[in-house]
Structure 1
Amino acid sequence: MNVKFRNQTTKWLLAMAFLCCPLVMNATPHQEVQNTKIQLNLKKASILDVLKSIEAQTQLSFVYNNELKALQKRVDFSYQSDSVDSILQKLATEYGVSFLRIHNSISVKVNAPKATADRRPIKGTVVDEKGIPIPGVSVVVKGTSIGVATDFDGNFSLEVPTDAQTLVFSSIGYHSQEVTIGKNTQFKVVLKEDTTELDEVVVVGYGVQKRGDVTTAIASVKAKDLEDKAVSSVAEAMVGKMPGVHIAQNTGAPGANLQVRVRGVGTITAGTAPLYVVDGVPLAKEDLNTFNNNDIESIQVLKDASSAAIYGSRGSNGVVLITTKKGAEGKPSFSYNTYLSIQNVSKKIDLLNAYEYADLVKDARNNSYADRMESINKRRAARSQAPISFSSADDNATRLKNTNNDYNTIIPVELQPYLQGVQGLTDTDWQDEIFRTAVMTNHSVSISGGTPNLKYYSSLDYLNQDGIVIGTNFERIGLRLNLDGKTGIFKFGASLNPSFVKEDKVNANGAYNENGGGVIASALHYAPIFPVYNPDGTFSFAQNEWSASTTTMVNGVKRIGNSQTQAWNPVALARLTSNQTKANRLLGKVYAEAEFLKGLSYKMDFGFDIFSDAQSTFKPSTIPLSNTAGNPPSEAEATSQTSQRYNWVFEQTLNYNKNFGEHHLNALGGWTMQYQRDESNYMFANGFISNSIQTLNAGTVTRGNSQASEWALLSALARLQYSYKSKYMLSAALRADGASRFGNNNKWGYFPSLSAGWRVTGEEFMQNVKFLTDLKLRASYGLTGNFRIPNYGAQGEFSYYSYVLGGSSPAVVKGMGASALPNPNLQWEKTAQLNVGFDASLWKGLLNLGLDLYNSNTYDLLLNVPIPRTTGFATRLENIGKVNNKGIEINLSSNINWGKWNFEPYFNYSKNINTVKELGPGNADIISSGSIANAYFITRVGESIGSYYLPVVEGVFKNQAEVDASLHYIDTPNNYDYQTSRPGDFKFKDVNGDGRLDILDTDRAIVGNYLPKFTYAFGTGISYENFDFKIDFQGVYGNQILNLSRRYFYNHEGNMNNYRGALNRWKSESNPGSGMNVRANRVSKGQNGVTSTWHVEDGSYLRIKNITLGYNLPKNISKYFSNVRLYCSIQNLYTFTNYEGYNPEVSNRTDATTSGEDYGVYPLARTFTLGLNLKF
């Protein structure tokens, strides 16, 4: 025994040293349960009754086959203060049964009679779908009492009658399976998991609950749904798995966080993200890219207000509960998971090539020349002067003469070879230049095990992901240690999860600029006639010079000449600028629990989430200041920014859990307090003497600031859960939150909830309804709050101002002045939600159905309300306004066994309707600006939050007759020429019907919204023997995208490249193109450039999200491992959509009132993966 102990400990210590996680392990065998004294006095009872009585008095559970006749024989049993071991020994001796204990589970078998001449031996192994052995499986010859249970390695052997035909394999949590014996002597049986039989336990916040007793709306994702996914964020593996939880991947940048919304958007100005809780610790920062997917045991999302109310003021947007893996009693178990992924861009934009671009520029210059000459001749006619004749065949010198040197009318000399069809000229595909085939690798090792007194789980994870855009990378190192111990009445534990992240970024999103921004936009805009590099190997910025100011001449001829044209060489932006962030995170908790009385326990938790990061950027002087040629070289610039966040939470809870006959009661009470402090520092420097030294000390720091803020939360909570026969269920909860963020008159908020459930199939009148295995009706109502507002919104704020003081020698001095009025009545936004639904299982789990209907009202919205100017302020933050979300969620799944085949199809559907019910005084509209001029969003009563508010394009003027019959534009202060529409220009709708067009103000309409009408997902898992296959589809329908990039890709001005759709533009009255595509014109026409319905596109899509094929090696090949699995997968294989941009999930902005923009965003990657999982 001592030798065995030392060997086991040595293995364990070596493994933990490898993971750098020192543990203390007690390997002494645990005898507490076996030595427990119990009393039994049963009359006319069976052995099964004895086993059930033992289960009721201990923590043991028994696994057996109900059909074994030996277990049903009725006799009298009387045991007085005997130990469990003693009773089991007596049963084994007197009744011919035997027991095999694994942890706290004991399998029961009836001893087989001794072999006779008419019997023959057979043996085999029972494994699960992943090839992992299953201990304690009952193996019985059908119609007899001959049977055994599998051992720890899933093996069995027994003597069967020579005429035996069928073996029955059964185990709790798995579908029973019958196997024909025939002449076989060796068997390998794969059992499929039966989730309907498992009576699965789910995390519900401050505790767990049997899924069968849950009366609220909770969605779940298990560990197996996260496996085989080559993703850097846990959220990406959750996409499409839960109805009512919309997860959008707005950007494909490596390591980027996804946008998660639960049941729509219920706020206008406060945060919309759910609360994340990991192992009971609320996250201080919503970055899920610091977690290792292989560490996660399950994810539950509390969707309705009743389930989330236990989190009170932070539950309004839903709560995501992440539970990590724990150790289990037994010898150390090792696992190693690794994969290699190859990524490429999932879609490219179809742009004009260099020759097509040259033709567009020529067309734009000719039209600009014609418009200019028409305007000149009108003025000449007014002066009784003869018109000047002109033609598109005029050379540049003639054009300059006729137009008084209007350089927007000439054909650039650089285009002449292209227009003449000379082959072999520069034709750069700028997308090919910035996109690359990128590699992602991941390695994850873990060890778990323990004794009855101490269990452990530890892991080490490394991820390195190159981005598909050059210059981008995400790297993560993570370590996890979970400990759970027990001694006497005490339980204790700790979890520790340090992680380190390094990100190299490029500013891919938004408009192009000389500071390194807009790499994607620049790649799409940059003219294909220019090369990436100059002949000397330096980066070319030829388009910046080509689009130069009016002083630049080439051989006496002006170039394109428009200082507003801004596009920088995107390869130079990505290669020369640097933007790196390094972040450290320490997430963890410690806890202690004592069970003073049976069922009554007291628990203390202390959790923490400490986060710090440092970001540095550098732009060298080799990137031009602007697009104006002849400018002096730019100055090198650098920034340095650091931030720290310290968050801790201390909780004390008292829990009472008791069975009274067929009644079950769970009561929870407690209090919590949480504190968070944020600090940040920022510095900017320029004047660097060299591009090689990029630290701030090599330049001159000219700007800087530092900030600090803090908040605190004090809470009390209570919950009562009751069930009778698991047929009638009731749950009630109340949480009171006091927060520093809110006004002195409303520091406390109270958040109650109530839910009930009825298992209809538990009633006598349902017993003859054989096809209905389970039916549970649910209803809930609850109140939650939204905590996500500025820390000091209720308090008067002061800001720094500069004042000029003094007479003849004035000096600038700093001072402070009030910048916001206090509001002592400021309080939480509140959400009241009613939810009704049901869960059903038909034909013993062949079909599982869940349905939820909900109606959610969020009120006391935080809005800036106008106040009298006499106060010295324009607005004040107040609680006013109301938003409604209502919808339906459907979840379908099945588990079909057909011989060696298993099918697990699923489908889910979610529809949410968002409506603004009330706003500020007079229900005045809230108008929000987009990223470019005249792009407006509106939040209006009766409509959805953040709808697009734009002029309506009815088409393109096909001829002059249509122009003459059209309405005139009213005068505007903008520099747009609305009075001179011509054939080929946009034709707008008179929205208000007043007979005039004012497309910048009154002639606008609500033309779409970023919120989808419904989302859906479907797929299936298929397995056959050692092979398994999965395919997942995920889709969205009914949302619109405001594609602001079309302002440039379809402007037809010729100052930058365009979509290939520009080939279908209006060219003449006889060739009007598509009827929705304006003519080319070098001079921007106001009505053609204003953001309108022309920029709104359908964002619906269906994506093949994931395809995985796996194979588990047979045991005889992988005899040194308990399981070896190989797999290959494809992520984001293809997206079916009419959207013209890269990604229909796009949104440059994430706030509720201005989401849905596409203004140049990092595309999604298509990922091909090869992976290996080892367990031993």
Structure 2
Amino acid sequence: MKTKIHYFTGGLSDSYWSRPSFRLSGLILLLGSSLLVPITAGATKSSMPMAVEQQTKKITGTVTDNSGEPIIGATVAVKGTKNAAVTDVDGHFTLSGVTNNAVLRISYIGYSDQEIGIGKQSTISIVLSQDTKALDEVVVVAYGAQKKTTLTGAVAAIGTRELKQSPAANLAVTLTGRLPGLIAIQRSGEPGRDVTNLYMRGRGTINGQNPLILVDGVERDITSLDPNEVDNVSILKDASSTALFGVRGANGVILVTTKRGTSEIPDISLTAETGWQTFTRWPSQIDSYDWALLKNQAWHNDHPNPGVTDAPPYSAYALERYRLGDQPNIYSNHHWVDELTNKWVPQTRYNLTLNGKGANVNYFVNVGYLHQGGQFKLDKSEKPSYDAKKFMDRYNFRANIDVALNARKTLKAFLNAAGTFETVNGPNEETLTLLTNLLGKWPNIQAGPTTPDGEVLLGGSSYQYSPWAQINRSGYRKETRSSVNATFGMSYDLGFLLKGLSTKLTASYDTQSINYLVGKKGYQYWESVVDPNRKNPDGSDYIEYHRIRTDFDNTPLSTSKSATFASFYDLQWQINFNRTFNEKHTVTALLLAQKQSQIKASDVLPFNVQGLATRLTYAYDDKYIAEFNAGYNGSEQFAPKNRYGFFPSASAAWNISREKFFEKWTNVVDKMKLRVSYGLVGNDKIGNTRFLYLDNVTRSYGGYSPSLSNNNTIQELFFGNPNLKWETAKKLNVGFELGLWKYFNLSFDIFSERRDNILITKNSTPSIIGVAQSTIAPFNLGRVKNRGYELEMSFNKPITKDLLIMAKANLNYNDNEVVYMDELKFDETYAYPYHQTGYSIGQQWGMIAEGFFKDQDEINAYAKYEGQQPRPGDLKYKDVNGDNIINQKDLSPIGYSDVPKYTAGLALSITYKNFDISALFQGAFNVSGAVGSPGPYEWYDFREFHKKAWTAERAAAGEEILFPALALAQSPSEIYNSTFFNMDRSYIRLKNLEIGYTLPKNWSRAINAKVVRLYVNGYNLATWDKMKFKDWDPEVMDNSTYPLLKVWNIGVNVTF
């Protein structure tokens, strides 16, 4: 067997090969019969096995950036030849065999390519400028990539630089505010369970609304993906860009592309981060004295004319004890939030990446670790045999390898292997239960949290649970998730058959397992009682302890295990064609066949999807572009006759700035482009119930009847609908792009969507037929329309050689309307005949509050309340229908939906010499909602804002009033949602901030490093909003949900 020896010089000095950093880059790679041997720059010409033409010379030079720092690993090539070199650690290069008429092409990732004619020069100095438009040149689209200049669809993208600026643990969160058209709402900050809802251009249906998410072309979860392994993220928004996904593309598509080997000189990069996290907001708690005052105030509101024997809950003596705090064992003052939660907890992250590119093998490897602490505080005096600490640990691994299998590199193979291993640990009690009980714990519970003998002190039989015990003595719950993904593929250039023809085959297999380990422990509940007949030796009251709640008992730790398993495979085969004729006519084509099968956790039957997709594009001189996309695929969710569908789209673009008549303006307007697309896309996300087209028939055992024998019968539990099919979305998009002075860009899109065949329950089915509504399958009757616009602007200009300023802003608007939901019309006595039809999905309904009742006379003269009667200080609701009665017939549309109509983002970046600073502001507007129950209501617990509740004295003095008159139980003000409690949840947030400093190159070389960067970054740092009650974050708005987190982080990145 012959061995081919390939030489490369790389332009590196002799000293470089002996450096420690070369231990990886100098490896000899052996693949098949190809041997790659490094040759130093000092090798003589006679030692090089290459032919050297007559009249050639040696060229030497340096490549630096705008700040004068050398660029390591830049490629310097003689254009049109294979003669090339790579710059060394000092930015130097050497090229032999160069003619005077040669042209050098200099390139490096992240910088603009440059071409320089040689002429009579022998020494050249080259300065490369950063290319922040690199991502815009080629954009990842469905099953491929396209030049942005020829793109006809609505696509937006960001790169790894922006993603890594956020210390968020969930990759989906890092997309917030960065991509026009994508709405990201974080509903929880709980470690390992930080849920983020994603919407593409708002809501278009009442059913499944999440976009399809693909990682390297395969449907996968991104919440646990490490930002360090992501190269770019693209979102596909219109029919042109999503039609290939057919029945799954109506809600938009998110494409995540992971990194691949690109560095000519292998890179080893180490990143270490450590930080601290705290809640963005947390309900306020007041001390026992203020709490008791408010309790008495509520009692007086409920008893305006108390009897002789009536008395408020707390006497003047008790109030004085709470104020002075001189008897804490009896008149206690607890701040349970401070006692049972940590203000700040640690978060750490470590990453190691390897990136290399050889003659035949490219590789990228990433290993990552993330630890995120939880806020629940364990009592250090407790010494349990188990760990109930709240935390999440995550390990990530990825290896992407590309191999050329033949000398001509027409046959290639690639392997993507990735794994995520995550542990979520905490107390046995669910977070919802812990938070609800913690926030409802009164501050004046006697003593606690335990008796002198160590038993759990509940504080009285009126309390249901002790949050201290739920955290410290309930046991533990450990959830271990393991996910392993593998994709293998091969591509073959079929140019020998037809120039521009190629094929690609991809096979993917994923597995996921979740193991649950639960340790459960029981405990008794006790209460403290003052014995009026006994005193302690020092004269203080004597306290006795009695056991209560006998349904709770001390039990040893017992453990149980359970597990779920899920698997997924995906097969794709595609034929591609890409060819330019006569340097003007470019034709590309794609034909793809796909089959996938997924077994979800706890399911037995797989979810199967299969189909075909095609794309055909034509571009004339990159000036006029036309594109046709279509998907033909199906889902087994539907009956065989409705299983497959055809989803076509057509689009076109006109690059006006490439017209000859436009040449005189190109020095100012470097880009002007129009786009338009229209097409049909589907949605098969119809809920968790499968096979709705089938009847559900079971055997029923007859019961005894005097007139019937006891025989088995057939019972039909569910009537299937064989005519069910997918939702269809007809989408229109018109876009305009403008570039000015080569540093300002603008993109504006308007869109319209009509969603038909939405699966809904047929409300108009009469009950007289004798069949329960729950036994009847839904119908494809719903219709929704959605429309809006998106504006994106960017500014990118080097002000001086040391100063670069970049800014990118986006503004998005969407407005949906329910056209038909088979909604029963209310009669004419209702203020509004429909509560869905004609309104946005999620429209809030409630009473219109017109202030507070000032006294009983005003109440007597006003419309009558149905049910519970109002008191002075209660909300005065508008009689909308004019019947002089306040009831549910007066409900009106108030506020907006819980998904914002407007979203915006502003990313700013300034680089000055070795310093850099970046910030992301993100906002949501025209969004509203009430705080989830029990929310701000005083019958649950008193908060700081209750101090400014209505009283006759405060109203007469014209003081600020933040709450209706307090009550000991639910008041008429709190029976209905209203304009008072339905708050404007619009906000502007400083989502990310990062400040970095890159050490000078000569400092980095001291540790044999290419780059050393130090930085500080933060996440969810500040929020400006219109919330009436500042205890809740406007994104979460729920008492029982883990609050969002604010994170401060410091880090260092070293690249060797």
Give the structure-1-normalised TM-score: 0.74
* Aligned position for 2:987: 1101
Partners of 1:1039 and 1:1099 within 8 A in 2? yes
1:28 and 2:40 are equivalent in the alignment: no
Q: How far has the Cα of 1:370 moved from its partner?
A: 3.6
Supply the distance in 2 between the matched residues of 1:672 and 1:1090 (Cα, whole angstroms).
51
Partners of 1:1050 and 1:1059 within 8 A in 2? no
Supply the distance in 2 between the matched residues of 1:997 and 1:1160 (Cα, whole angstroms).
31
1:534 and 2:450 are equivalent in the alignment: yes
CA change 1:346–1:529 in 2 (3 A) is same
* Aligned position for 2:749: 852
1:997 and 2:886 are equivalent in the alignment: yes
* Aligned position for 1:669: 591
Q: Which of these residues, 262, 280, 283, is aligned with residue 328 of structure 1?
A: 262
1:297 and 2:231 are equivalent in the alignment: yes
CA change 1:1026–1:743 in 2 (3 A) is same
Supply the distance in 2 between the matched residues of 1:1173 and 1:614 (Cα, whole angstroms).
35
Q: How far has the Cα of 1:1144 moved from its partner?
A: 3.9
Unaligned runs of 5+ in 1: 32-84, 99-110, 113-121, 140-147, 159-167, 179-185, 374-388, 391-397, 401-408, 508-513, 549-565, 681-706, 926-935, 1148-1156
Q: Which of these residues, 139, 144, 158, is aligned with residue 202 of structure 1?
A: 139
Supply the distance in 2 between the matched residues of 1:515 and 1:289 (Cα, whole angstroms).
21
* Aligned position for 2:511: 610
* Aligned position for 2:1053: 1173
1:911 and 2:813 are equivalent in the alignment: yes
Supply the distance in 1 between the matched residues of 2:976 and 2:465 (Cα, whole angstroms).
20
Counting only pairs closer than 5 Å after superposition, residues 916-995 of structure 1 correspond to structure 2 as: 916-920=818-822, 940-970=836-866, 977-978=868-869, 981-995=870-884
Q: How far has the Cα of 1:944 moved from its partner?
A: 0.5
Supply the distance in 1 between the matched residues of 2:314 and 2:201 (Cα, whole angstroms).
55
* Aligned position for 1:1062: 947
* Aligned position for 1:142: none
Q: How far has the Cα of 1:1027 moved from its partner?
A: 1.2
Q: Tell me, what secondary structure is at the counterpart of 1:1118? A: helix
Q: How far has the Cα of 1:341 moved from its partner?
A: 1.2
* Aligned position for 1:266: 204
Q: Which of these residues, 1049, 1066, 1073, is aligned with residue 936 of structure 2?
A: 1049
* Aligned position for 1:630: 548
Supply the distance in 1 between the matched residues of 2:967 and 2:223 (Cα, whole angstroms).
47
1:522 and 2:437 are equivalent in the alignment: yes
CA deviation profile, 1:1102-1145 (whole Å, cap 9, x unmatched): 11111111111112111101111111112111111122255545
Instruction: Tell me the amino acid that sits aligned with residue 459 of structure 1.
Output: N
1:841 and 2:748 are equivalent in the alignment: no
1:445 and 2:357 are equivalent in the alignment: no
CA change 1:537–1:472 in 2 (3 A) is farther
Instruction: Tell me the amino acid that sits aligned with residue 573 of structure 2.
Output: Q
CA deviation profile, 1:296-316 (whole Å, cap 9, x unmatched): 111111111210111111111
CA change 1:772–1:464 in 2 (3 A) is same
Q: Which of these residues, 365, 373, 383, is aligned with residue 466 of structure 1?
A: 373
Instruction: Tell me the amino acid that sits aligned with residue 257 of structure 1.
Output: V
Q: Tell me, what secondary structure is at the counterpart of 1:1043? A: coil
Partners of 1:354 and 1:418 within 8 A in 2? no
Supply the distance in 1 between the matched residues of 2:420 and 2:618 (Cα, whole angstroms).
41
Partners of 1:579 and 1:616 within 8 A in 2? yes
1:355 and 2:289 are equivalent in the alignment: yes
Partners of 1:668 and 1:718 within 8 A in 2? yes
Supply the distance in 2 between the matched residues of 1:913 and 1:261 (Cα, whole angstroms).
13
Q: Tell me, what secondary structure is at the counterpart of 2:1053? A: strand
* Aligned position for 1:656: 577
Q: How far has the Cα of 1:1067 moved from its partner?
A: 4.7
* Aligned position for 1:1085: 971
* Aligned position for 1:872: 771
1:237 and 2:143 are equivalent in the alignment: no
Instruction: Tell me the amino acid that sits aligned with residue 268 of structure 2.
Output: F
Partners of 1:948 and 1:1006 within 8 A in 2? yes
Partners of 2:456 and 2:523 within 8 A in 1? no
1:823 and 2:703 are equivalent in the alignment: no
Q: How far has the Cα of 1:882 moved from its partner?
A: 1.2
Q: How far has the Cα of 1:796 moved from its partner?
A: 3.0
Partners of 1:544 and 1:567 within 8 A in 2? no
Instruction: Tell me the amino acid that sits aligned with residue 925 of structure 2.
Output: Y
CA change 1:257–1:577 in 2 (3 A) is same
Supply the distance in 2 between the matched residues of 1:130 and 1:991 (Cα, whole angstroms).
71
Q: How far has the Cα of 1:437 moved from its partner?
A: 1.3
* More moved, 244-253 vs 625-634: 625-634
Supply the distance in 1 between the matched residues of 2:157 and 2:926 (Cα, whole angstroms).
26
Instruction: Tell me the amino acid that sits aligned with residue 133 of structure 1.
Output: I
CA change 1:12–1:1113 in 2 (3 A) is closer
Supply the distance in 1 between the matched residues of 2:313 and 2:701 (Cα, whole angstroms).
51
Counting only pairs closer than 5 Å after superposition, residues 337-376 of structure 1 correspond to structure 2 as: 337-370=271-304, 373=306
CA change 1:15–1:529 in 2 (3 A) is farther
Supply the distance in 2 between the matched residues of 1:1066 and 1:1171 (Cα, whole angstroms).
52
* Aligned position for 1:477: 395
CA change 1:450–1:190 in 2 (3 A) is closer
Q: How far has the Cα of 1:423 moved from its partner?
A: 5.0
CA change 1:311–1:1142 in 2 (3 A) is farther
* Aligned position for 2:1010: 1122
Supply the distance in 2 between the matched residues of 1:1044 and 1:517 (Cα, whole angstroms).
12
* Aligned position for 1:503: 424
RMSD over aligned CA atoms reads: 4.1
* Aligned position for 1:155: 91
Partners of 2:135 and 2:159 within 8 A in 1? no
Corresponding residue pairs, total: 951
* Aligned position for 1:411: 314
Q: How far has the Cα of 1:1022 moved from its partner?
A: 0.8
Q: Which of these residues, 792, 800, 814, is aligned with residue 690 of structure 2?
A: 792
CA change 1:1059–1:672 in 2 (3 A) is same
Supply the distance in 2 between the matched residues of 1:311 and 1:205 (Cα, whole angstroms).
8
CA change 1:176–1:481 in 2 (3 A) is closer
Q: Which of these residues, 889, 897, 906, is aligned with residue 790 of structure 2?
A: 889
Supply the distance in 2 between the matched residues of 1:264 and 1:937 (Cα, whole angstroms).
26
Q: How far has the Cα of 1:585 moved from its partner?
A: 0.7
* More moved, 947-956 vs 771-780: 947-956
CA change 1:922–1:1091 in 2 (3 A) is closer
CA deviation profile, 1:389-446 (whole Å, cap 9, x unmatched): 63xxxxxxx328xxxxxxxx54379944446644574332222232331111111112
Partners of 2:504 and 2:573 within 8 A in 1? yes
Unaligned runs of 5+ in 2: 9-15, 38-48, 79-83, 95-103, 116-122, 378-388, 529-545
1:253 and 2:159 are equivalent in the alignment: no
CA deviation profile, 1:703-748 (whole Å, cap 9, x unmatched): xxxx534221120111101211111111111111121001233111
Supply the distance in 1 between the matched residues of 2:863 and 2:231 (Cα, whole angstroms).
65
Q: Tell me, what secondary structure is at the counterpart of 1:620? A: strand
CA change 1:439–1:905 in 2 (3 A) is same
Supply the distance in 1 between the matched residues of 2:112 and 2:853 (Cα, whole angstroms).
68
1:712 and 2:608 are equivalent in the alignment: yes
* Aligned position for 1:275: 212
Supply the distance in 1 between the matched residues of 2:178 and 2:771 (Cα, whole angstroms).
52
Partners of 2:107 and 2:114 within 8 A in 1? no
Q: How far has the Cα of 1:207 moved from its partner?
A: 1.0
Partners of 1:1118 and 1:1124 within 8 A in 2? yes
CA change 1:366–1:814 in 2 (3 A) is farther
Supply the distance in 1 between the matched residues of 2:394 and 2:487 (Cα, whole angstroms).
22
CA change 1:590–1:954 in 2 (3 A) is same
Q: Tell me, what secondary structure is at the counterpart of 2:176? A: coil
Instruction: Tell me the amino acid that sits aligned with residue 1044 of structure 1.
Output: G
Instruction: Tell me the amino acid that sits aligned with residue 207 of structure 1.
Output: G
Partners of 2:435 and 2:1039 within 8 A in 1? no
Partners of 1:985 and 1:1088 within 8 A in 2? no
Counting only pairs closer than 5 Å after superposition, residues 753-792 of structure 1 correspond to structure 2 as: 753-769=649-665, 770-789=667-686, 790=688, 792=690
Aligned-residue identity in percent:
26
CA change 1:227–1:1076 in 2 (3 A) is closer
